[in-house]
Structure 1
Amino acid sequence: MHPLRSIPVCLLVTVLFLLLLVAPVVGTVRIVPIGDSITQGTLQNDDGLSHPTYRYWLWQTLKSRGYDVDFVGSVDQPQLPYSFDQDNEGHDGYRTRDLLGTDRLKTWLTGYSPDIAIVHLGSNDAMDGVPVETTIGNLKQIVTILRAKNPSIVILIGTVIPRGGYGSNLPALNSAIPGIAASMSTPSSPIVIVDQFTGYDGYDDNQPKRYLHPNQQGEQKIAARYAAALAPYLESPGPYTDLSIPGRVEAEAYDKGGEGVAYHDTTTGNQGGAYRQDDVDIESGASGYDLCFIRDGEWVNYTVNVAAAGEYTATFRTAAWNDGHTITLSVDGTSVGSAGLANTGSSEAYVDTTMSVSLSAGTHTLTVQFSGDGENLDYLSFAAVPVTTPTSRPTLQPIPPSTLQPTDPDQDGLYEDLNGNGALDFNDVVLFFDRMDWIAGYEPVEVFDFDRNGRIDFNDIVRVFSLL
């Protein structure tokens, strides 16, 4: 069993809801990478190659996305032969307790004030057989020290990557780490647990011959997961792109802002690996991109501009490979409709599901919430329902000697029931013949012009007779 899978579901849900309730940091964001030799790096690697640590790849990723960040720390050693901000708090051989001894971390923090801390510690604790409860207690003290420096600090704590022949207590340690967030995360200072264990191979992703430190592939995996966890704190909440209704809204164009603000996703990282790097799962598909691996209770927000108030048909393009799925649409926090999704039997077989919604003009937040595990969403679209203008009926007078208004029994716009008795009969032909001139002078010509020549004449009488 994966060491993180033993965590109770209710605990994970609680953690996920608490994680990102704080607003993104404004201005230059100061990030301190804290850790051991995995964070610090070395000029003498086991495989004889040069490795810049995950910090380099993380720096490159954040800068390429336009984020204004500053790595901080009390050291910038070793001077790795790569161009990036090398300030950090990585210390070779350190266990969690070593940051606490002689107030080391407190002393280091006197030189800077971080907005975000990346805590990548525990490998040496696991290798040395430090009791799990001791390591967890030390990590909690590190959280307390960081908050004493900045009460609003965002703290990312990574689970421990596997090493070749890692200590037997590593699974237990990784299972216990999320409990730190569950007990200590707050809206003003969230703790985000970053799963660095899943998908990381202790041999393929580490340097031979000891398999203790990441190779380039391993460094990039670590960096990618920290970049995904950081993204919500480095961008302001709001629209990802301009979305207009009527029109099509691509599923992957959900708002910026992160977990609990722009979306709720029950798994860490983009499991589909495409397009955007946060916790929403996106894959590349036949029509572009789609939200994939959707699970019960997840949701996404879209900021849209509605051109005109009215009734709209909302269409959801979905695939589902289980029964019992529903999709719910809310507008500005108010549910406006739900619909059951067809079981298409495959993640690649899509069908349309529709619902009718009433929208007012202007900017609105749409929330799409999912019920049931195992579905994909390609897009949602909105089409205005045509407004039907009732056909105006002409004002008619009874044709003497009848006292009833003429009627149009077949609703074709021509009033063949001239005497108003509700049916076409020979008496209507006789009345038409007797009162043709009167009809031409006192009634709307168009409703008695049966031959469509623009006037009332004998041919119209013949046409009515032919309808008998």
Structure 2
Amino acid sequence: MALHPSRSITLAWLLAALIGISPAAEHHQPIGILPIGDSITDGDGRHDSYRRHLWHLLRNAEYKVDFLGSRHLNGYYNEQPPNPDFDMDHEGHSGWTTRDVLSELSGSGEGRGQLGDWLSTHAPAFILLQIGTNDILKCEDTNGIVARIKQMVAIIHSITPSSTILISTVLPLGSAQSLGFDDAYCPGKRGLDTAVNALNQNLQGVLSEVARVDIVDLNRAIDPASDLYDGIHPNASGERRIAEAWFAAMTPATTR
């Protein structure tokens, strides 16, 4: 899904108008972008994640950006990504569910659920929220997943009301054979597909809650046969497609 060059230029100036900076003015405050999610945001020692490609798309559009977050390395083992030529700050947490992001509300410890702290510390202009895959794999009810995402949106809006929140649909899942999780997680590919589709359809209900929220359809951007290396996580082409979808979604988001 290639972007037309003129679209990159338009995006740069629209973003500049939104937060009052010139795209090429390096001495001004950068655009703060907070990526929040699970392992698809996190990456690992063999996969950069979409964040690298998105950072380069934004920089090539001639403006100063600052990726935000308490994490700097990738994956469970805090590994250097294969290509560390980008701003690596993020809040991708491998294995996390919507409950984990919200666990601070019930007093859970172990470094989980610091959403309020992330927002208060960084005050981002954009929040990229990609979450829900692990909920699906753990057989969580889709209505409950959407309710927790709405709760996240409400928290974000209360702490940083000027932030634009971009929420991704859940990526498609590969074949049951490639997943290899049928015994440990929800049995059967059909059940997984049904849950993913139901969650993605119900996400539209989040849009009516507060202003400055958009749904980014990453599900349609990904071909599970060619863009996922294990049935769940994006390979290099999948990372690029995800980055391009986020990048393209920022243009209409700035006109709200």
TM-score (norm. length: structure 1): 0.42
Following the alignment from structure 1 to structure 2, what is the Cα–Cα distance between the partners of residues 29 and 76? 18
1:172 paired residue number: 198
Paired letter, 1:129: C
Please state which structure has a larger fraction of its residues in strand. Answer: 1
Matches within 5 A, 1:327-338: none
* C-alpha displacement of 1:129: 1.4
TM-score (norm. length: structure 2): 0.74
2:81 paired residue number: 80
Q: What percentage of residue pairs aligned between the two structures are identical? A: 37
| SS of the residue 2:167 aligns to | strand
Following the alignment from structure 2 to structure 1, what is the Cα–Cα distance between the partners of residues 253 and 216? 14
2:185 paired residue number: none
2:5 paired residue number: none
| SS of the residue 1:31 aligns to | strand
1:57 paired residue number: 53
| SS of the residue 2:234 aligns to | coil
2:20 paired residue number: 26
Following the alignment from structure 2 to structure 1, what is the Cα–Cα distance between the partners of residues 89 and 221? 28
Following the alignment from structure 2 to structure 1, what is the Cα–Cα distance between the partners of residues 137 and 162? 33
Maintained 8 Å contact 1:163/1:203: no
Following the alignment from structure 2 to structure 1, what is the Cα–Cα distance between the partners of residues 90 and 96? 14
1:193 paired residue number: 215
Paired letter, 1:231: T
| Unpaired runs of at least 5, structure 1 | 1-19, 44-49, 235-257, 261-468
Paired letter, 1:54: Y
| Unpaired runs of at least 5, structure 2 | 1-13, 22-29, 75-79, 106-112, 176-188
Following the alignment from structure 1 to structure 2, what is the Cα–Cα distance between the partners of residues 161 and 30? 25
Following the alignment from structure 1 to structure 2, what is the Cα–Cα distance between the partners of residues 232 and 26? 17
Following the alignment from structure 2 to structure 1, what is the Cα–Cα distance between the partners of residues 166 and 253? 11
Q: Cα deviations across residues 196-238 of structure 1 (Å, max 9, x unaligned)?
A: 111422221100xx3221001111111001001113567xxxx
After superposition, the Cα gap between the structure-2 partners of 1:200 and 1:135, relative to the gap in structure 1 and judged at 3 Å, is: same
| SS of the residue 2:218 aligns to | coil
Paired letter, 1:160: V
Q: Which has the higher contact order (CA 8 A, sep 6+)?
A: 2
Paired letter, 1:170: V
* C-alpha displacement of 1:145: 1.5
Maintained 8 Å contact 1:117/1:156: yes
Maintained 8 Å contact 1:24/1:232: no
Q: Cα deviations across residues 105-144 of structure 1 (Å, max 9, x unaligned)?
A: 1133342211110001111111211111110111011111
2:121 is aligned with 1:111? yes
* C-alpha displacement of 1:66: 0.7
2:246 is aligned with 1:204? no
Paired letter, 2:234: P
| SS of the residue 1:193 aligns to | strand
Structure number with greater Rg is 1
1:70 paired residue number: 66
| Aligned-CA RMSD value | 1.9
| SS of the residue 1:66 aligns to | coil
State the 4+ residue runs in structure 1 displaced beyond 6 angstroms: none
Following the alignment from structure 1 to structure 2, what is the Cα–Cα distance between the partners of residues 232 and 66? 19
After superposition, the Cα gap between the structure-2 partners of 1:233 and 1:176, relative to the gap in structure 1 and judged at 3 Å, is: closer
Q: Cα deviations across residues 67-97 of structure 1 (Å, max 9, x unaligned)?
A: 2211101111223232100110100000111
2:175 is aligned with 1:150? no
* C-alpha displacement of 1:155: 0.3
After superposition, the Cα gap between the structure-2 partners of 1:162 and 1:233, relative to the gap in structure 1 and judged at 3 Å, is: closer
Q: Cα deviations across residues 335-374 of structure 1 (Å, max 9, x unaligned)?
A: xxxxxxxxxxxxxxxxxxxxxxxxxxxxxxxxxxxxxxxx
Paired letter, 2:144: T
2:234 paired residue number: 214
Maintained 8 Å contact 1:71/1:88: yes
Maintained 8 Å contact 1:117/1:154: yes
| SS of the residue 1:172 aligns to | helix
2:180 paired residue number: none
Paired letter, 2:69: G
Maintained 8 Å contact 2:37/2:129: yes
| SS of the residue 1:179 aligns to | helix
Maintained 8 Å contact 2:166/2:214: yes
Paired letter, 2:250: L
Paired letter, 1:156: L
| SS of the residue 2:227 aligns to | coil
1:39 paired residue number: 41
Matches within 5 A, 1:79-98: 79-81=80-82, 82-98=84-100
Paired letter, 1:227: F
Following the alignment from structure 1 to structure 2, what is the Cα–Cα distance between the partners of residues 160 and 64? 27
Match of 1:141 among 146, 151, 155: 151
* C-alpha displacement of 1:146: 1.2
Q: Cα deviations across residues 259-284 of structure 1 (Å, max 9, x unaligned)?
A: x7xxxxxxxxxxxxxxxxxxxxxxxx
